[in-house]
Chains A and B, each alone.
Chain A
Amino acid sequence: MQRLGVFVCHCGSNIAATVDVAKVAEMALMEPGVVHAEDYQYMCSEAGQAKIAEAIKEKNLTGIVVCSCSPRMHEATFRKAAERAGLNPYMVEIANIREHCSWIHKDMEEATKKAVILMRAAVAKVNLNTPLQPGESRVTKRALVIGGGIAGIQTALDIADAGYEVDIVEKTPSIGGRMSQLDKTFPTLDCSACILTPKMVEASAHEKINIYTYSEVEKVSGFVGDFTVDIRKKARHVDMDKCTGCGVCQEKCPSKKAPSEFNRGLNKRSAIYTPFAQAIPNVPVIDCDNCIKFKTGKCGICAKVCQAGAIDYEQQDEIVTQKYGAIVVATGFDTINLEKYDEYAYSQSPDVITSLELERVMNAAGPTHGHLERLSDGKAPKEIVFIQCVGSRCSDDRGKPYCSKICCMYTAKHAMLIRDKYPDVNVTVFYIDVRTPGKNFDEFYRRAVEQYGVNYIKGQVGKVILQPNGKLLVQGADLLDNRQILKEADMVVLATAIEPNPDVRKIATMLTASIDTNNFLTEAHAKLRPVESPTAGIFLSGVCQGPKDIPETVAQAGAAAVKAIGLLAKDKLLTNPCTAKSDELLCNGCSTCANVCPYGAITYEDKEVNDHGIREVRRLAVVNNALCQGCGACTVACPSGAMDLQGFSNRQIIAEVDAICR
């Protein structure tokens, strides 16, 4: 039998003006288990807490109820006070008689009655409380960053600089990501490669950073502080240690028909290739699908020309298993597939391109060596039309409902750069809204309009028609002038919506991190915990969480790093004791609970039990306390009631229900 104390707070007049606090205390003494009840001006004050401590010690209390403000306000305060007095902090329950009672009811009698019922419910619950102890788990002082774009690189650098080992896993043959494909960056027009390359070099040279390129995360198990990850290092067929990066193999490779991923398929590359000149590592890979040696068994030229003897056709995929304390997801984005937007003639004319393709066209290392020209005939365009929001802010299922955020600014950048370099080219931009929040962003856009004479038309484009003369007829509307526009253009650039890298779904499943309807990873709290996943130990960096430009990505990458560092700096983690717990004798081992667990916290073990004399080996659910966050989904999924939630047990909640309904 519990010995309970009930402490009723006046909260000055916040509670006492509407609730007869003395009456609540008096009624509390009638409740089972209650041996002490008192009311006081401010229970949360030093003096109030001292009263609680005194009562706990003097009356040997085994549990307390504080009738006061919301537990969200002072539950922690009273738990600590109880703990200082020698009581287990989980033997404390709060009856919320302020926010849920005194502040919303005017009639004293009515409010007092309700306060008594809330007190009874809390007493009924605490009667069934049991002392809970937070568990401890160890922290592996190593972080994994999935994705080697600017977000991943920045996060890795920040974590490494704090002194922790970091592994970057990058799917493609080189780190660098989308930023490496950009020509210039807004709003300062720096050369993208110029600011990115030093970061790439720094990462590869950092003694605490280990980069796995051409590699993918295969399997994740474990939990915050103690993840175990299998990384598949895909066979490169080039020995990383031997290769000198001379590039002869690529020159001599007879198969040069593969579309270059780096140049968005606008030109071709060899079957053995490094994606771009500044690639890190500067070690090529053999694309087996296009390699003659792999397809026919004949060729082998690269091996012959390689003086370092680095070519290894026999190389196999390798699985590396590593332990991590924290995982940062930085998987970035891609542009959406435009097959549902046939009206823009993207698939019909090579002169209709996406903005990302335009980046490559304008880049000196790109397919046109930086010359602005039509990809169909190589002629210099005179009239360029930009179409905004292609697939963004879309109300039907062809595109995305969200704003891709970066398009307004990069289009202003492209328009400005074109007008600067080719003053005779007319640039027209069709837009729904121009969105330029951000430091120096609106100034930048205004320069494009005012200084560079870019023609902005508020209105949407209904259709782009490829004409027999090779030109493109753009049919649009000017909403401000309320007129239809027909414009002949040499090139059309589509500000294509961005979407999370399609691989993120697979990764989210492995990490039991949640993703939203648009495949962006969900943050633990939209405002207050924007770089943490709801799954402990998983952090979010860059566009995988939502559309961002480079400065925002870098800022978030740093923030994710700080959160990861905060975790890695700990030697042990205290775990929330209000976790699910399975009763071995009732468990069916049916896996229903594991199927609804968002954290992968439930596993199964074959275990011998003694069920009232029957000894047998049974398949039983085991909850990992470090992973379990205490949501309770499993407890309802479990038909036998074997799974229960400590701190919010079935019987506790039922006791509250009964107390309220009695």
Chain B
Amino acid sequence: MQEIINRAKELLADGTVARVLGWKAGDLPYNPEPAYFENAEALSDFVYNGFCGANLSKYMIEASKLEGKTLVFLKPCDTYSFNQLIKEHRVDREKAYIIGVGCKGKLDIEKIKKAGIKGIESIEGAEISDAAETLKIQTIYGEKEMAYADAMLERCHVCKGKEHQVYDELIGESKETKDAELFAEVERIEAMSPEEKFAFFQNELSKCIRCNACRNACPACNCRKCVFDSTKFDSAQKANVDTFEEKMFHIIRAFHVAGRCTDCGECSRVCPQGIPLHLFNRKFIKDIDELYGEYQAGEDTESKAPLTNFTFDDAEPSIVGKRG
């Protein structure tokens, strides 16, 4: 981490960048927040550890409007989002100085708490430099332990890989974290009967409180004004009823980001109700891969997105239900 801070200070000092976008230590062991640092002194609060899950690429939309370059720290998966934003002309590559930072999987405080660990005072083993496989958690109610992997965000278990897709320089080592099949969960649902599928999603979505955290955290949901906030479709209802609105919202949201979603997992990370929202996006990713050829949004800034592309012999919609 010191290496990162030193480099940031250098780049600030030599005028390469006007500010630094990174994470600032929180007041609890697990709540660092995205933050701008304007000078070397401020960087004393800089932190980069296992709880820095937030994808900073979306913040670069606003940062692109500022004077001068912004130094931004991106994890390997964040760089896909950044590329996608370049493709959509939402960020200015020239305004960004990207340091790709290593990643050994990001932690999910919800998982730690779900394991019954509460009253947390400190957490050891979450530093990027730690090689520890186990988190040592000091709580008011005694010392607890949890395997690092068990506390990892879902997305890290199906990691796309630790290669940065876009950067100016790289700092820090990464560790492979993929230990699950990307589409395993989707396949499990696909194998259900329609009644089971419906019950599953009804159950999950009835938790939705329409807080829009998924949307607002999503780097692909970067519309200046969301269609669900505008009058264009008469769709700004905001009601929390357990029948249809959530489904409409989540299906359309997934559809709007289909072919653009890099599967960064922010939607599921931020959902206060723990709805596995990535299951929507990942279903589209799986369909696109199967029907139109493998496609990874954000791998480049040029290729045609699957929904703005076609081939003459694409599958017919009637293929739905015919596939195994």
A residues engaging B (CB < 8 A)? Answer: 517, 583, 585-592, 595-596, 604, 611, 616, 619, 637, 639-642, 644, 650-651, 654
Q: Are A588's CB and B233's CB within 8 A?
A: no
CA distance A501 to B90 in the complex (A): 40
Interface flag for B138 (CB, 8 Å): no
Most chain A Cβ neighbours within 10 Å, of B90, B232, B305? B232
Q: Which residue of B lies closest to A658 (CB)?
A: B234
B residues engaging A (CB < 8 A)? Answer: 65, 87-90, 222-227, 230-234, 256-257, 304-305, 307-308, 312
By a CB distance below 8 angstroms, the chain B residues around A604 are 89
CA distance A640 to B226 in the complex (A): 5
For B230, give its contact among A586, A592, A595, A654 (CB under 8 Å): A586
Q: Are A640's CB and B312's CB within 8 A?
A: no
By a CB distance below 8 angstroms, the chain B residues around A616 are 65
Q: Are A583's CB and B232's CB within 8 A?
A: yes
CA distance A639 to B233 in the complex (A): 11
Q: How far is the CB of A610 from chain B (nearest CB, A)?
A: 13
Q: Which residue of A lies closest to B257 (CB)?
A: A639
A592-B88, A592-B305, A619-B89 known; A641 vs B224 contact (CB < 8 Å):
no
Q: How far is the CB of B308 from chain A (nearest CB, A)?
A: 4
A588-B88, A589-B89, A616-B65 known; A639 vs B256 contact (CB < 8 Å):
yes
Q: Are B225's CB and A640's CB within 8 A?
A: yes
Q: Are A588's CB and B90's CB within 8 A?
A: yes
Q: How far is the CB of A613 from chain B (nearest CB, A)?
A: 14
For B90, give its contact among A590, A595, A644, A654 (CB under 8 Å): A590
Q: Are B233's CB and A595's CB within 8 A?
A: no
Q: Which residue of A lies closest to B304 (CB)?
A: A595
CA distance A644 to B304 in the complex (A): 22
Q: Are A588's CB and B223's CB within 8 A?
A: yes
CA distance A651 to B257 in the complex (A): 22
Q: Are A586's CB and B223's CB within 8 A?
A: yes
By a CB distance below 8 angstroms, the chain A residues around B312 are 517
Q: Are A585's CB and B224's CB within 8 A?
A: yes
Q: Are A637's CB and B307's CB within 8 A?
A: yes
Q: Are B88's CB and A591's CB within 8 A?
A: yes
By a CB distance below 8 angstroms, the chain A residues around B225 are 585-586, 640
Task: List 21 A-B pairs, Cβ < 8 Å.
Answer: A517-B312, A583-B232, A586-B224, A586-B225, A586-B232, A588-B222, A590-B89, A591-B89, A592-B305, A595-B305, A611-B224, A639-B223, A639-B227, A640-B223, A640-B224, A640-B230, A640-B232, A641-B233, A644-B232, A650-B233, A651-B233
CA distance A586 to B225 in the complex (A): 6
Q: Are A654's CB and B89's CB within 8 A?
A: no
Secondary structure of the B side of the interface? loop
By a CB distance below 8 angstroms, the chain A residues around B230 are 586, 640-641
Q: Which residue of B lies closest to A617 (CB)?
A: B65
Q: Are A654's CB and B226's CB within 8 A?
A: no
CA distance A585 to B232 in the complex (A): 12
The 4 A-B residue pairs with the shortest CB-CB distance in the complex, in nearest-first order: A641-B232, A590-B88, A595-B308, A640-B223
Q: How far is the CB of A135 from chain B (nearest CB, A)?
A: 23
Q: Are B227's CB and A588's CB within 8 A?
A: no
By a CB distance below 8 angstroms, the chain A residues around B87 are 591
Q: Are A596's CB and B224's CB within 8 A?
A: no
For B224, give its contact among A517, A588, A637, A650 (CB under 8 Å): A588
By a CB distance below 8 angstroms, the chain A residues around B88 are 588, 590-592
By a CB distance below 8 angstroms, the chain A residues around B232 are 583, 586, 640-642, 644, 650-651
Most chain B Cβ neighbours within 10 Å, of A604, A616, A640? A640
Q: Are B308's CB and A596's CB within 8 A?
A: yes
By a CB distance below 8 angstroms, the chain B residues around A619 are 89
By a CB distance below 8 angstroms, the chain A residues around B222 are 588, 590
By a CB distance below 8 angstroms, the chain A residues around B305 are 592, 595
CA distance A611 to B307 in the complex (A): 29
Question: 11 new A-B pairs (CB below 8 Å) besides A591-B87, A591-B89?
Answer: A583-B232, A586-B224, A586-B225, A586-B230, A588-B88, A592-B305, A595-B304, A639-B256, A640-B226, A641-B232, A651-B231
Most chain A Cβ neighbours within 10 Å, of B90, B224, B233? B224
A588-B222, A589-B89 known; A654 vs B233 contact (CB < 8 Å):
yes
By a CB distance below 8 angstroms, the chain A residues around B257 are 639
Q: Are A592's CB and B227's CB within 8 A?
A: no
By a CB distance below 8 angstroms, the chain A residues around B226 are 640
By a CB distance below 8 angstroms, the chain B residues around A586 are 223-225, 230, 232
Q: Are A641's CB and B234's CB within 8 A?
A: no
By a CB distance below 8 angstroms, the chain A residues around B308 are 592, 595-596, 637
Q: Which residue of B lies closest to A633 (CB)?
A: B308
A595-B305, A640-B223 known; A651 vs B234 contact (CB < 8 Å):
yes
Q: How far is the CB of A401 from chain B (nearest CB, A)?
A: 12
Q: Which residue of B lies closest to A639 (CB)?
A: B256
Q: How far is the CB of B81 from chain A (nearest CB, A)?
A: 14
Q: Which residue of A lies closest to B311 (CB)?
A: A517
CA distance A509 to B158 in the complex (A): 39
Most chain B Cβ neighbours within 10 Å, of A587, A596, A641? A641
CA distance A638 to B87 in the complex (A): 15
CA distance A591 to B222 in the complex (A): 13
Q: Are A654's CB and B234's CB within 8 A?
A: yes
By a CB distance below 8 angstroms, the chain A residues around B227 are 639-641
Q: How far is the CB of B322 from chain A (nearest CB, A)?
A: 24
Q: How far is the CB of A251 from chain B (nearest CB, A)?
A: 51
By a CB distance below 8 angstroms, the chain A residues around B234 are 651, 654
CA distance A644 to B233 in the complex (A): 10
By a CB distance below 8 angstroms, the chain A residues around B304 are 595
By a CB distance below 8 angstroms, the chain B residues around A640 are 223-227, 230, 232
Q: Which residue of B lies closest to A517 (CB)?
A: B312
Q: How far is the CB of B281 from chain A (nearest CB, A)?
A: 14
CA distance A650 to B89 in the complex (A): 25
Q: Which residue of B lies closest to A589 (CB)?
A: B89
Q: Which residue of A lies closest to B259 (CB)?
A: A592
Q: How far is the CB of A660 from chain B (nearest CB, A)?
A: 15
Q: Which residue of B lies closest to A618 (CB)?
A: B224
By a CB distance below 8 angstroms, the chain A residues around B65 are 616
Q: Which residue of B lies closest to A641 (CB)?
A: B232
By a CB distance below 8 angstroms, the chain A residues around B90 are 588-590
Q: How far is the CB of A592 from chain B (nearest CB, A)?
A: 6
CA distance A591 to B87 in the complex (A): 8
Q: How far is the CB of A587 from chain B (nearest CB, A)?
A: 8
By a CB distance below 8 angstroms, the chain B residues around A517 are 312
CA distance A596 to B232 in the complex (A): 21
Most chain B Cβ neighbours within 10 Å, of A583, A585, A586? A586
Q: How far is the CB of A223 from chain B (nearest CB, A)?
A: 21
Most chain B Cβ neighbours within 10 Å, of A517, A592, A637? A592
By a CB distance below 8 angstroms, the chain B residues around A651 are 231-234
By a CB distance below 8 angstroms, the chain B residues around A588 are 88, 90, 222-224
CA distance A517 to B311 in the complex (A): 10
Q: How far is the CB of B319 from chain A (nearest CB, A)?
A: 20
Most chain B Cβ neighbours within 10 Å, of A517, A588, A604? A588
By a CB distance below 8 angstroms, the chain A residues around B233 are 641, 650-651, 654
By a CB distance below 8 angstroms, the chain B residues around A592 are 88, 305, 308
By a CB distance below 8 angstroms, the chain A residues around B231 are 651
CA distance A292 to B90 in the complex (A): 53
By a CB distance below 8 angstroms, the chain B residues around A637 are 307-308
CA distance A640 to B307 in the complex (A): 15
CA distance A359 to B48 in the complex (A): 76
Most chain A Cβ neighbours within 10 Å, of B65, B230, B231? B230
CA distance A164 to B233 in the complex (A): 48
CA distance A589 to B87 in the complex (A): 11
CA distance A432 to B25 in the complex (A): 80
Q: How far is the CB of B237 from chain A (nearest CB, A)?
A: 13
Q: How far is the CB of A583 from chain B (nearest CB, A)?
A: 7
CA distance A626 to B58 in the complex (A): 36
Q: How far is the CB of A661 from chain B (nearest CB, A)?
A: 13
Q: Which residue of B lies closest to A592 (CB)?
A: B308
